[in-house]
Structure 1
Amino acid sequence: MQPNSNYVYPQIFWVDGCTDAGASCLPAPPEAPFPPPVPDRRRKPRNNRERRSVGFLVMFLLILVAFTGVGLCIFKIFRLEKELDEVRESASAEHIPPALEKFTGESEQSLRKEVRKAAHLTGNPAQRDLPLEWEPISGHAYTSGIQYRNRGLVISEPGLYFVYSNVLFRGSACDSQVLSHVVYKRNPNSPGSLVLMEDKGINYCTGQRMWARNSYLGALFKLRKMDSLHVNVSKIALVNFEESKTFFGLFKL
């Protein structure tokens, strides 16, 4: 069978990415996607308020460190001064130079001067009966080597003591009663009490007006261990208990 020469065949077109029909073209590679955006890691500048806060914090820490150093220096200085005062007091009390102490070989404890036994008591208005009650601590009152017990001063070491007592009596009207001021002692090994000093006042006021009378007692006594000294008055209501007006004490010679 012969083909029909009068038959018109349809046109066929080849489509590719090349513009030149005579050259062979390779397929185009796929396009790469765009890379992701890189985040901005640069630190944002702080505002003025944050900068001020940081500056104040740094300044506060520097000031705190400076004051701490000054406080430590002052503490060390006071400590050194205290130690120096103690050394001076011990040296002045012993009156022994260091060179002599080396030759004698005596210990520091044996050379230390004994504390002087003394006591000074002041008036105490909170009392209702006798003997008089005293204040042993507050104000000018103190005790050193002497005990204050049961309203009296108790002797712990026998010896020669100077004992004193002062009482100020006062009133708003004169009734001519006898004023009595007595210092006496007791001892558990001896019965009763023994009067050491006594003062009596009569005719100390006239008329219906305010009056005042001071009574002072003081003398040397040889006291035994466990002796307790006390003070009596004729009437508690007439006593002025100010610490500079009414007091009681002793010291060992």
Structure 2
Amino acid sequence: MINTFHTSYNPPPVPPRAGYTRPPLPSNTPLVKFLSVMLLLLMMLTFGGFLYLFQKLNVATSTSPQQAAARIAEASHYKRPAAHMYRLKERVPKDGRFPNQQLVWDEEHSLLNAVRSTGDTLIIPHPGLYFIYSHVTFSRSSSSSLKQGIWSKLPNKDNDDVEILKSYCSLNPSKEDLCTASLSGVIRLQEGQQLYVKVTNTSLLNKNSCSFGLFKIQE
């Protein structure tokens, strides 16, 4: 007899053979653990950031104007010493105070930040490592070398002044021209040490192109 019975159900699975072991399913447990730890750290950092901002906001709102001004004044006391000086363009009276080889600076239009100036000299307020520089432009030639130098005078007046940096340039005496002598260096300076710039002769300079400066880079 022909079997005409039909069904839509799948046949039952074949029973496993004796001694057969199903291979283990792939596991991503280490990856899940890593992602869980990273998510926890991210939540902690986010919560910590919100807590920090909340505390800062409370401090800012509870600070009186007098306290804020006191904090600003305290912070300004620790300004990093710096100076950028421009040459004084007006004629300086020949009273013997400023030799004709020493440059005089325009304090009104120069930058002085926690550094004192005496007109021709910068006085170091705090000891440390400083970057110092100077640029002078000569517009007239001379029979001697066109030279500039930064000189130093220590707080002890018994010591002679010392030239710590120097540079030269040259001009053709047969034609009008300009030459700039530039120098820079990193030097450790003492408190109260004085610095000034000397040239061959100030009458040979272009008054509009002379500068001198320094700034502290390290204690």
Q: Which amino acid aligns with 1:133?
A: V
Residue 122 of structure 2 corresponds to residue 122 of structure 1: no
3-state secondary structure, aligned to 2:161: strand
Q: Which runs of 5+ in 1 are unaligned?
A: 1-95
Q: Which amino acid aligns with 1:132?
A: L
Q: Matches of 2:53 and 2:202 in 1, distance apart?
A: 54
1:138-168, CA deviations, whole angstroms, 9 ceiling, x for partnerless residues?
Answer: 2xx1211000015100011111111110000
Q: 1:182 to 1:98 in 2, by over 3 A?
A: farther
Higher relative contact order (CA 8 A, sep 6+): 2
Number of the residue aligned with 1:99:
55
3-state secondary structure, aligned to 2:167: strand
TM-score scaled to structure 1, two decimals?
A: 0.52
Alignment of 1:110-189 (within 5 A): 112=75, 114-125=78-89, 126-127=91-92, 129-138=100-109, 141-149=110-118, 151-171=120-140, 176-189=143-156
Identity %: 22
Alignment size in residue pairs: 149
Number of the residue aligned with 1:228:
194
Highest Rg: 1 or 2?
1
Give the root-mean-square deviation of aligned CA atoms. 2.9
Any conservation in 2 of the 1:120–1:136 contact (CA below 8 Å)? no
The alpha carbon displacement at 1:177 in A equals 3.1
3-state secondary structure, aligned to 2:55: helix
1:82-139, CA deviations, whole angstroms, 9 ceiling, x for partnerless residues?
Answer: xxxxxxxxxxxxxx96725979xxx87398363221111101132352321111112x
Any conservation in 1 of the 2:133–2:184 contact (CA below 8 Å)? yes
3-state secondary structure, aligned to 1:237: helix
3-state secondary structure, aligned to 1:240: coil
Q: Which amino acid aligns with 1:183?
A: I
Any conservation in 1 of the 2:116–2:124 contact (CA below 8 Å)? yes
Alignment of 1:1-253 (within 5 A): 99=55, 109=71, 112=75, 114-125=78-89, 126-127=91-92, 129-138=100-109, 141-149=110-118, 151-171=120-140, 176-189=143-156, 190-201=158-169, 204-206=170-172, 208-242=174-208, 245-253=209-217
1:222-247, CA deviations, whole angstroms, 9 ceiling, x for partnerless residues?
Answer: 110010100000011110111xx101
Q: 1:134 to 1:175 in 2, by over 3 A?
A: closer
Q: 1:149 to 1:98 in 2, by over 3 A?
A: farther
TM-score scaled to structure 2, two decimals?
A: 0.59
3-state secondary structure, aligned to 2:117: strand
Q: 1:130 to 1:234 in 2, by over 3 A?
A: closer
Q: 1:97 to 1:168 in 2, by over 3 A?
A: farther
Q: Matches of 1:207 and 1:239 in 2, distance apart?
A: 14
